[in-house]
Amino acid sequence: MQAEYVIVGAGSAGCAMAARLSQAGRRVLVIEHGGSDWGPFINMPGALSYPMNMRRYDWGFRSEPEPHLGGRRMATPRGKVIGGSSSINGMIYVRGHARDFDHWRDEGAEGWGYADVLPYFKRMEHWHDGGHGGDPAWRGTDGPLHVTRGARMNPLVKAFVEAGVQAGYPRTDDYNGAQQEGFGPYDMTVWRGERWSAAKAYLKPALKQPNCELVRAFARRVVIEQGRAVGVEVERGGKVEVIRAEAEVILAASSINSPKLLMLSGIGPAAHLAEHGIPVVADRAGVGQNLQDHLELYVQYASAQPVSLYRYWNLLGKAYVGARWLFTRSGPGASNQFESAGFIRSDAGVDYPDIQFHFLPIAVRYDGQAAPEGHGFQAHVGPMRSPARGEITLKSADPAEAPRIFFNYMSEEQDWIDFRRCIRLTRELFRQEAFRPYVKHEIQPGDAAQSDEALDAVIREHAESAYHPCGTARMGRADDPRSVVDPECRVIGVDGLRLADSSIFPRITNGNLNAPSIMVGEKAADHILGRSPLPPVNMQPWVHPEWQTAQR
């Protein structure tokens, strides 16, 4: 069992690297603990609430009790399946704002500014605008990852964009293009009515080649000899064995499992490793630190008209949606139903959006429970750049034990200020003329919750993770003690070992994380192959001309 490159994790970044390395003629072996992504729950976009709640497809992680959220233990789904979290996520495609990547660069991730990453976003995409406008110069049209837009037939979906414009925000035809700020259609990783995961885009075509192999096994640790990674110790069929890497070992096991594997391999904060009796190979204080996520709340309304997706929320309706999708790959099941987006700035003086809206034309929870009121709609809202930082640590030296996940949500005063503002700005949207025919009453937070204290109580009880954990092995300068990987994704202090997934984000990006995670895999592949990165593309993104003095 050996190859030139051994990749741990067949997720968003791992699939991209496996494809690009094998296309370049390298022998690649991918280790994945999860099984097949075949089946209707994963492939039908409208069924997205199922796979992330299925033990078969999800690692089933939970956080430690979160002290600022009433001691709740938060669900932390991560994909344990071919395609990783791209096979169980909400399929929303957001690159992030140009300024996010310029911030990475300024934090020491040299060569990862927006001009540097834009060509990789273009290389990975096959964008279909669906006649909704947008400038193709900013987008890729022949990459492996199909990006499409929903049909946008539901009147509520259009009302949300109109309400944003009526409230004084700009309209944007393509938030992944020149202008993120504003309201417009969402992009999704759906193609011909099916989820288009990183596995379908990258891994499955690569596995058809003789030089790319997938092995189902549980990775226990990286084997390091004389300061060099030489393989991965795995458990397979009840036996422990080592898969050897002739050139490099590459971790792409998620922002939860990648730092766990580093620590089990002796790479991490020395004192923490010593607590668990793990010999120190490289003392890196940053491993497992800098954990970030997006927290959000559903602002829900009951609808005065029976226009929401609730009409399918019964046995007959679900049977119709399922059958139509199975036979024609069309209808409500062919969309993730997140078809209208909003990105706004919370205040004057904020230079680019720090609030994101996901609009949904039904009032429902992530676990699939519909609101008892019946017809309704909701906007998921939350701050994009929380100052709170958490950590991933080991509970023991046993690889089979899940790590300790502590997000430390809402631990800064600024978190509360920002979140209340999110709720109030969302309510203002639903007071616009466009929603007058539809708003019956507010379900959550509810009309009684007006004061800061009342809103804080709702946040404490009802805020949910948007499932965007990242940052636990941050990329930066090799001489920065906080850094875990250098700008070529090499783990600092160990030869022959790289890490490329959402762990390396110095700071969380604006929006959903699947697109930047795949981009990291695309760009890391060029570094691994020793190629010159794609030439920078210097296109100037739109920034609100009056951002210093105006909120909109």
Binding residues for FAD, by number, are 81
In this structure, the strands spanning 282-283 and 267-268 are parallel
In Å, what is the CA distance from 384 to each residue of 5, 93, 196, 381, 516?
35, 15, 25, 9, 15
DSSP string, 429-475: HHTSGGGTTTEEEEEETTTT--SHHHHHHHHHHH-EE-S--B-TT-B
Active site residue 103: no
The binding site consists of 81
Catalytic residue selected from 276, 468, 527, 544 = 468
Tell me the one-letter amino acid at 105: R
Angle, CA of 251, 107 and 356, to the nearest 5°: 80
Spacing of C-alpha 268 from chain mean position: 24
Structure tokens belonging to residue 436: 């007058």
The Cα–Cα gap between 525 and 24 comes to: 10
Percentages helix, strand, coil for the chain, rounded to the nearest 5? 30, 25, 45
Structure tokens belonging to residue 552: 């909109």
Tell me the one-letter amino acid at 3: A
Q: 3-state DSSP call for residue 283? A: strand
Among 200, 208, 198, 147, CA closest to 23: 208
The Cα–Cα gap between 140 and 93 comes to: 13
The Cα–Cα gap between 530 and 326 comes to: 45
DSSP string, 62-81: EEEEEGGGTTEEEEE--B-B
Cβ–Cβ < 8 Å for 457, 297 = no
DSSP string, 136-199: GGGS-BSSSEEEEE----SHHHHHHHHHHHHTTPPB-S-TTTT--SEEEEPEESEETTEE--HI
The Cα–Cα gap between 268 and 289 comes to: 10
- Residue identified by tokens 């110790």 is 233
* Residue 283: CB atoms within 10 Å: 15
By annotation, the residues acting in catalysis are 468
